[in-house]
A and B are shown apart, each in its own frame.
Chain A
Amino acid sequence: MSLLDMIGPVMIGPSSSHTAGACRLGLVAHHLLGEAPRRAVIGLHASFAKTGRGHGTHLALVAGLLGFAPDAPHLPRAFEEAEAAGLTVEFRDVDLGDVHPNTAHIDLHGETQHVTVQGSSTGGGVIQVTQVQGLGVNFSGSNPTVLLRYIDAVGMIARIATTIAADGVNIAALTCTRENRGGLALLAIELDAPLSEQALAFFNRWSDTDWVRMLPKLMDG
Chain B
Amino acid sequence: MTLEELMNAPAPASGWVLAQDCAETGLDPDDIRQEMARRIGEMRASIERGLKSDARSITGMVGWNAKGLWDAPDVLGAPLLRRVQAYAMAVNEENARMGRIVAAPTAGSAGTIPGALIGVADHLGLPDERLVDPLILAAGVGKAISKRMFISGAAGGCQAEIGSSAAMAAAAVTELLGGTPRAAVHAASLALMNTIGLVCDPVGGYVEVPCVSRNAFFAVHAVSAAQLALAQLESFIPPDEVLGAMASVGRMMPAALRETADGGLAQTPTGLAVTARMEGREPEGDLPGGMVELPMA
Contact = CB atoms under 8 A, between A and B. Distances in A.
A, B in one complex:
yes
Interface of A: 1-17, 19-20, 47, 50-51, 54-56, 59, 71, 73, 75-76, 101-102, 122-125, 192, 220-221
Contacts of A59: 98
Contact of A13 (B25, B94, B139, B151): B94
A4 B139 contact: yes
8 closest Cβ pairs, A-B complex: A123-B152, A51-B205, A13-B95, A6-B142, A3-B139, A6-B139, A16-B107, A16-B103
19 contacts: A3-B32, A3-B143, A4-B27, A5-B105, A6-B138, A7-B104, A9-B102, A14-B98, A14-B108, A15-B108, A19-B107, A50-B205, A50-B261, A51-B206, A54-B205, A55-B207, A122-B152, A124-B152, A221-B25
B196 interface: no
A71 B278 CA distance: 26
B192 to A, nearest CB: 15
Contact of B103 (A8, A56, A73, A75): A8
B140 interface: yes
A122 B105 CA distance: 13
B140 A123 contact: no
Interface residues of B, number: 55
Nearest to B41: A10
A204 to B, nearest CB: 28
A13 B152 contact: no
A11 B100 contact: yes
A13 B97 contact: yes
Contact of A7 (B59, B100, B102): B102
Contacts of B105: 5-7, 16, 124
A3 B18 contact: yes
Contacts of A16: 103, 105-108
Contacts of B58: 14, 54, 56
Given A14-B96, A19-B107, A2 B39 contact: no
Contacts of B26: 192
Given A2-B21, A14-B206, A17-B106, A7 B95 contact: no
Most buried by A among B100, B146, B260: B100
B3 interface: no
Interface string B50-88: 000000011100000000000000000000000000000
B30 to A, nearest CB: 13
A50 B259 CA distance: 11
A141 to B, nearest CB: 15
Nearest to A11: B103
Contacts of B139: 3-4, 6-7
B261 A6 contact: no
B99 A1 contact: no
A101 B258 CA distance: 11
Contact of A1 (B18, B110, B146, B155): B146
A217 B59 CA distance: 34
Contacts of A221: 25, 27
Given A3-B36, A47-B205, 20 more contacts: A1-B143, A2-B21, A2-B27, A3-B139, A3-B143, A6-B105, A7-B36, A8-B104, A10-B42, A11-B100, A14-B207, A15-B108, A17-B106, A50-B205, A51-B206, A122-B152, A123-B106, A123-B154, A124-B103, A125-B107
Contact of B278 (A7, A12, A54, A124): A54
Interface string B159-179: 000000000100000000000
Nearest to B104: A7
Contacts of A5: 105
Contacts of B89: none
A76 B32 CA distance: 28
Contacts of B204: 51, 54
A184 B94 CA distance: 47
A117 B180 CA distance: 47
A11 B205 contact: no
B107 A11 contact: yes
B152 A9 contact: no
A2 B113 CA distance: 18
Contacts of A7: 36, 39, 102, 104-105, 113, 135, 138-139, 142
A50 B279 CA distance: 10
Contacts of A56: 58, 98
B106 to A, nearest CB: 5
Contacts of B57: 14
Contacts of B217: none
B101 interface: yes
B218 interface: no
Contacts of A50: 205, 260-261
